[in-house]
Amino acid sequence: MYLKSLEISGFKSFAKKADISFNAPITAIVGPNGSGKSNVAEAFRFVLGEQSMKSMRGRKTEDLIFNGGESSPRANRASVKLVFDNTKRLLNIDFDEVSIERVIHRDSLSEYLINGTQVRLKDVIELLAGAHIGSSGHHMISQGEADRILNANVRERKEMIEDALGLKIYQYKREESERKLEKTRENMDKVESLRKELAPHLKFLKKQVEKVERTIALREELTTLYREYLSRETAYIAETEKEIAQQTARPKAELARLDAELVAAKKVLDEAQHENKKVTELMSLQATLKTAREARDEAVHAIGMIEGELASLERMYAREKSASSAEVVSIEFARVKSLVTRIEELCAELGSVAELGGVRAVASKIRESLASFMESTRNARAESRVVELEHDIARLRERRETGARESTAREAELARIMKQYEELERAIEKEKDSSRDAEKAVFRIVAEQNELRGTLSVLRVREDKLKLEKEDLRREIEEGAVLIGRDVYQYESLTTPYPAEDRQVQEERRKQLEKIKVRLEDSGGPSPDEVMKEWKEASERDEFLAKELADLSRSAESLTTLISDLAQKLETLFADGISKINHQFKEFFALMFGGGDASLVVVEEKKRKRVSSEELAELGIEASPDDTDEEEETDLGVDIKVNLPRKKIRSLEMLSGGERALTSIALLFAMSQVNPPPFIILDETDAALDEANSKKYGDMVENLARVSQLIVITHNRETMSRAGVLYGVTMGREGYSKLLSIAFNEAVAVAK
């Protein structure tokens, strides 16, 4: 036994709680007309989720609630509870006993409960579908519906048979899969749309990334070149400083020694010849010669400084000259604002002009304003700097020429003094006496001092030039820090000594640096980090959408395969079920009619479907006024063929009312035998049978009770005699239905 009990409270004519226990294979419910016995069958429909008020003989939900009687108030709610024995897990839920309850209120609120827990109608339907139970169908047959399977068209009859064969669960899965497939395709369209929207931005970002990558490559190239250049320049300056220090140390020491020797020699001369005027004149001339030489050295040093500064300015001039041809220009905001104000004034003037000539005149003014602004601002800063550097270079060149003239004059003065000194020296040479050796020493010392001072002067020029080169190095490091950041200091980590090379190689390296810096400044554009971040986010978004599209595509393929498999399974199960039903149908039909033959036949029903002009256009067909806008569709259905004994009847339309009743009963019982439901409700399906056929009907009921529980609502005594438990429904003056029961199986045991 699967069905244990039915509890009705406040439903239709059952004002008070009524319990019906199903502890026999056949339970009969009897009662006079109008007593409410058919409300029991409708209670089954109600609790199993029936939504059609017409099927339960009502117009609105409130009609299903007890509306009161002479002595009974109306109820505010109606509830029906159905209890199943689930020890064999007929229902897919892990409980040995399962109760399904439906409650409605007068405010149309409806509740569904499974084992006391509120659930959705969908949950109830899915739970019952697994056991081939529904709110309507082959297992709930009322008096007027027995003939429905014969009156139905071939398509509706096919749906009834599919329901009887338990194919609803597969149809539900197929419909659910088709809905999912449609949703998946909609999502695929949305994802495709999103990717199409993203594609132009991604293309733009790709170009920006390529530009950034070129900038990064330039920066990396600049970093590498800077590392080489700065490392070599630092090593060169260090080596040169060391070399100058070493070359300066010996002449300074020698000069200090000669100064001491000169002091000693002069002391000897002073002691020997205090009155020697020529010696005094020679000494005076020596001091003059020293002053002239120092003046000459100072002029040479000044020229060296000017040439170093001039070389630096010429390099800056070349860099600024390159920058002046670049496209990127910085313009003062005030000048831009002034231009915008002027354009707005001209636009306002344009709005008040009605004639074409006036419009052209204003347009010409706008063009002239823009041209003037472009001409005045084109590389203004760079050109201004270039002009400034040109002035500085010209000034230094003038200073160099002046210094050169002064140096030449001082060189000539020095030559004149040297000549005078040499002449006096030759004159004194003739007059030398005992102080000859001291005088020779003085002359030798002075000559050596002059040579050493010349050497030191050359070294000072080199030292001054080196200072300018150190300043250039410092400036290069600062510029590099602006362009490539802290990476410019990577040269400090390079300790590998570089082999000596021609200074021109380093100069070529510096020129290459200047070219790359100009290209890097021209690249401009947005921040590389922001571009790369946005590119990464957009790329990841596109990859995510592509992956999602691939997943959706796989899901669509899987759903398409599942739908195809379910359709194939439905077709196979349906064909197999038709074959089994036909086998039982023939036996029951022959039993009911004492012979004859009956069968179900699958037929194709053709119907015409209207096709819109839009659908024709989608198919690439041009619609015309002569088009019928119709296409033919084929739909499967089930027809019934009968062959009565001793009669030439081949169609259902030729059957009498009794013959139709017997045929429908035979078919319904055959359907129930093929895929037996847990219970079957027969609501006065035997009303049209005579006594002889009632006996045959009773035999069929007993056979059917072996595979399904039967709840029979009947007036037929023959049918009552086959029941194990008999419930009587009566209605008194109170105006509500009551139940009385008789257990025949227990009564027989007591009688014995």
Q: What is the pLDDT of residues 481-530, one digit of tens each?
A: 877 777 777 777 765 566 677 888 888 888 888 888 887 776 665 567 78
Q: Is residue 257 part of a domain?
A: no
463, pLDDT greater than 90: no
- 525 versus 19: the higher-pLDDT residue is 19
Output 432 or 686, whichever has higher pLDDT. 686
Check whether 627 has a pLDDT greater than 60: no
Q: Indicate if the pLDDT at residue 29 is higher than 90.
A: yes
3-state secondary structure of 464: helix
pLDDT band at 561 (very low <50, low <70, confident <90, very high): very high
**Residue 333's pLDDT band (cuts 50, 70, 90):** low
Of the candidate ranges 436-445, 566-575, 694-703, the one whose mean pLDDT is the lowest: 436-445
**pLDDT over 90 for what percent of the chain?**
14
Q: Rounded to whole angstroms, what are the CA distances from 677 to 1, 18, 354, 489, 681?
A: 12, 25, 90, 88, 10
Q: Which of 46-50, 201-205, 356-360 has the lowest mean pLDDT?
A: 356-360
pLDDT of residue 168: 76
The reply to whether 596 falls in a domain is: no
Give me the pLDDT at residue 511, please.
86
User: Which tens digits make up the pLDDT trace of 592-601?
Assistant: 888 888 898 8
**380-397, pLDDT tens digit by residue?**
555 667 777 778 788 878
Instruction: State both tokens at 142.
Output: 């009322």
- Of these ranges, 33-37, 381-385, 482-486, 578-582, the one predicted with the greatest mean pLDDT is 578-582
Residue 295 in domain: no
pLDDT for 318 equals 76
Q: According to the model, what pLDDT value does residue 735 have?
A: 81
Report the percentage of the chain scoring pLDDT > 70. 84
Q: Is 84 within 8 Å of 4 (Cβ atoms)?
A: yes
Task: Report if residue 339 sits inside a domain.
Answer: no
Provide the terminal-to-terminal Cα distance of the chain, rounded to the nearest Å: 26
Taking the mean position of all CA atoms in its chain, how far away is CA 675? 50
Q: What is the pLDDT of residues 629-672, one digit of tens each?
A: 555 567 788 888 888 887 776 677 777 777 887 888 888 888 87
- In terms of pLDDT, which residue wins out, 138 or 275? 138
Domain that holds residue 92: 1-139+687-693+711-752
Whose structure tokens read 């020694």? 257
- pLDDT by residue (tens digit) across 243-290? 888 888 888 888 888 888 878 777 766 666 544 566 677 778 778 878
Q: What is the pLDDT of residue 308?
A: 77
Domain assignment of residue 50, yes or no: yes
Half-sphere exposure of 344 (CA within 13 A, CB side): 6
Q: Which of the residue ranges 135-144, 187-196, 485-494 would you say has the lowest mean pLDDT?
A: 135-144
Predicted confidence (pLDDT) at residue 752 exceeds the cutoff of 50: no
Query: Using an 8 Å Cβ cutoff, are 428 and 252 in contact?
Result: no
- Determine the pLDDT at residue 750: 47
Does the pLDDT at position 728 exceed 80? yes
Residues ≥6 apart with Cβ < 8 Å to 251: 452, 455, 456, 459
Q: Is residue 723 part of a domain?
A: yes
β-pair partners for 126: none
Angle, vertex CA 466, rays to CA 464 and CA 471, nearest 5: 100
Q: How confident is the model at residue 698 (pLDDT cuts 50, 70, 90)?
A: confident
What average pLDDT score do residues 11-21 get? 91
> How many whole angstroms separate alpha carbon 693 and alpha carbon 719?
11
Going by pLDDT thresholds of 50, 70 and 90, the confidence category of residue 746 is low
CATH of the domain at 111: 3.40.50.300
Looking at 225-234, 393-402, 544-553, 605-614, which range is the least confident one? 605-614
Residue 745 lies in a domain: yes
Residue 672 lies in a domain: no
Taking residues 97-108, what's their average pLDDT? 92
Helix (H) or strand (E) holding 168: helix 168-272
Reply yes or no on whether the pLDDT at 727 is more than 60: yes
Please count the structural domains in the chain: 1
Q: Which residue has the higher pLDDT, 618 or 246?
A: 246
**Cα-flanking dihedrals φ and ψ of residue 629, to 5°?**
55, 35
- How many residues are there in the chain? 752
Q: Does pLDDT of 78 surpass 90?
A: yes
Q: What CA–CA distance (Å, rounded) separates 256 from 262?
A: 10
Decide if 726 contacts 710 (C-beta within 8 A): no
Distance CA 394, CA 536 (A): 53
Bin 585: left if φ > 0, else alpha if -120 < ψ < 50, else beta.
alpha
Where does the pLDDT of residue 7 fall: very low under 50, low under 70, confident under 90, or very high at 90 and above? very high
For residues 612-635, give the mean pLDDT.
58
Higher pLDDT, 363 or 272: 363
Q: For 60-69, 219-228, 372-381, which range has the lowest pLDDT when averaged over its residues?
A: 372-381
Sorting pLDDT into bands at 50, 70 and 90, what band is 11?
very high
pLDDT score at 527 = 63
C-alpha Rg value of the chain to the nearest Å: 59
State residue 353's pLDDT score.
66
User: pLDDT value at position 154?
Assistant: 84
Q: In the prediction, which pLDDT does 751 show?
A: 47
Among 291-295, 620-624, 694-698, the least confident range: 620-624
Q: Which residue has the higher pLDDT, 214 or 192?
A: 192
Phi and psi, residue 489, nearest 5° = -85, 5
pLDDT at residue 589 tops 50 = yes
Q: Is the dihedral of CA 29, 32, 36, 39 positive or negative?
A: positive
> Would you state the pLDDT for residue 319?
73
Has residue 467 got a pLDDT over 80?
A: yes
Q: Which residue would you say has higher pLDDT here, 2 or 22?
A: 22
Q: Is 134 helix (H, G, I), strand (E, B) or coil?
A: coil
Predicted TM-score of the model (pTM): 0.50
Q: Average of pLDDT values for 357-369?
A: 75
Confidence grade of residue 733 (pLDDT, cut at 50, 70, 90): confident
